[in-house]
Chain A
């Protein structure tokens, strides 16, 4: 029982990172109609930015700011590539997938050649911190608490933006019908760029939380996580934001439970096996495709 609770907590904090990544990924998918496979890579790149900043300052505000700014800038800088590939109303989503894989490879290569000589980076031990909770086998680190609480806050803000604000209505209108959106006066290109910026902002926050949860990062982390983000998005139903929320958490919990109960590191195999089986039964995803 103790193992179960411990792994459940682990799973929730890991899951909240997946949820954040899937939300940013899905936002660009529904608004800009692209598969941005390189999004998790950008988040990992921002983890490197955090790490670099920490060498100069311990000011948490500055570190978070640097992470957010770098993620927004790089994500928005990528937008013209996708726009150039798109026709007036819509881009072939498969093309965007291939292009974003190239961008992902590029980012991974930069990290493995140019940053820290390609070695994994380690964050200061107080970033992950000691346990804040100790009951027998159950431990919950400061970093995990940050990931979970920060994750919940960011997700709540994200859904508030999308469902309660003017800009959110504009995003949803554009995601449902871009031609109709332009007919009623919504500037399609500008709104799409804004979705990249919002995803970048979310990504910058995610980078800090992820760093605090893991305590380290490596050039291959982007690929590793991107696979799961795409898988979760497909599993939930491409572009389904609420579905992504549920499935992101589920993946985190399933992985952690597998790690707690099964020998060795079977967590990946479990996760992808689960996805394979579900996709065979429900090809449109658990919650239905929404693009």
Chain B
């Protein structure tokens, strides 16, 4: 049996009077890719934000590597080993590529140079552009920098929020290949993705969300064959 990495147990989150998450439970096991599928506003980002401590959780709890991290401050969640690749290929745009990676290693100052080496090995383009201001990179390169910066923090779980958003199709498959490679290297991945087809193809396990609830869950292949899921998220007879 695989070891559990992340377990979210029945959490609820609301923004004022609006309930963003209602009794949501998910699990991520070692070595696994888990996809969160759902339309814009289904609660995927809210779930990632709640795990990250960016959003207050009212009920339920979040357990990471056996520790309760419910409502822990964001920097501590990051320090404990959850690496979020945020939506919109976010980088520190006034800093250089190298500086972006260096601050990513905040919790491991002694190991910055060795981490840098392995990130540059995985992303030769970042090495080529290391002294360039990050704001001048292309969208795809910024997404790679965002992934590389997250790897600098030696995460035990990677969470990617809409990694394909705003990128060209060719770049999107490149980013997904990178995430696939990272998973093969052993990183468990929790992926939030609007493109249901892509997310179901990519994931081992998937959760289909709608208006803050988990509607369906199961092995991604099975969900792909589920007529209801096909009808609602894969455009009928795909």
Contact = CB atoms under 8 A, between A and B. Distances in A.
Q: Do A and B come from one complex?
A: yes
Contacts of A169: 95, 99, 102-103
Q: Which of B75, B84, B102, B107 gathers the greatest number of chain A CB atoms within 10 Å?
A: B75
B19 interface: no
B92 A173 contact: yes
Contacts of A182: 54, 73-75, 78
Contact of B95 (A176, A179, A183, A187): A176
A264 B150 CA distance: 61
B103 A173 contact: yes
Contact of A184 (B93, B94, B109, B149): B149
Contacts of B107: 185
Q: Which of B74, B79, B99, B150 gathers the greatest number of chain A CB atoms within 10 Å?
A: B74
Interface string B94-113: 11000100111011010000
A170 B93 contact: no
Interface in A160-184: 166, 169-170, 172-173, 176-177, 179-184
A54 interface: no
Interface in B92-142: 92-95, 99, 102-104, 106-107, 109
Interface residues of A, number: 17
Nearest to B109: A166
Contacts of B109: 166
A188 interface: yes
B90 interface: yes
B62 to A, nearest CB: 16
B203 interface: no
Given A172-B92, A176-B95, A179-B54, A187 B75 contact: yes
Contact of B86 (A180, A185, A187): A180
A186 B75 contact: yes
Contacts of B95: 169, 172-173, 176
Nearest to A166: B109
Interface string B61-88: 0000000000001111011000010100
B124 to A, nearest CB: 22
Nearest to A290: B94
B52 interface: yes
A183 B94 contact: no
Nearest to B78: A185
Nearest to A170: B103
B190 to A, nearest CB: 14
Interface in B121-177: 149-150, 153
B75 A188 contact: yes
Nearest to B84: A183
A182 B52 CA distance: 9
B155 to A, nearest CB: 10
A176 B102 contact: no
B50 to A, nearest CB: 13
Interface string B29-56: 0000000000000000000000010100
A183 B102 CA distance: 14
Given A185-B79, A188-B75, A180 B106 contact: no
Nearest to B91: A180
Nearest to A177: B92
A186 B103 contact: yes
A62 to B, nearest CB: 34
Contacts of B73: 182, 187
Interface string A211-245: 00000000000000000000000000000000000
Interface string A5-23: 0000000000000000000
A172 B93 CA distance: 11
A184 B73 CA distance: 12
Nearest to A179: B54
Interface string A177-214: 10111111111100000000000000000000000000
Contacts of B149: 184
B106 A185 contact: yes
B90 A177 contact: yes
Contacts of A184: 78, 103-104, 106, 149-150, 153
A184 B158 CA distance: 12
Contacts of B75: 182, 185-188
**Which 7 pairs across A and B sit closest by C-beta, in order of nearness?**
A185-B78, A182-B74, A187-B75, A173-B103, A185-B106, A169-B103, A185-B79
13 contacts: A169-B95, A169-B102, A172-B92, A173-B92, A173-B95, A176-B94, A180-B92, A182-B74, A183-B54, A183-B84, A184-B106, A184-B149, A185-B79
Given A166-B102, A172-B95, A180-B92, 13 more contacts: A169-B103, A173-B95, A173-B103, A176-B94, A177-B92, A179-B74, A182-B73, A182-B75, A184-B103, A184-B149, A185-B75, A185-B78, A187-B75
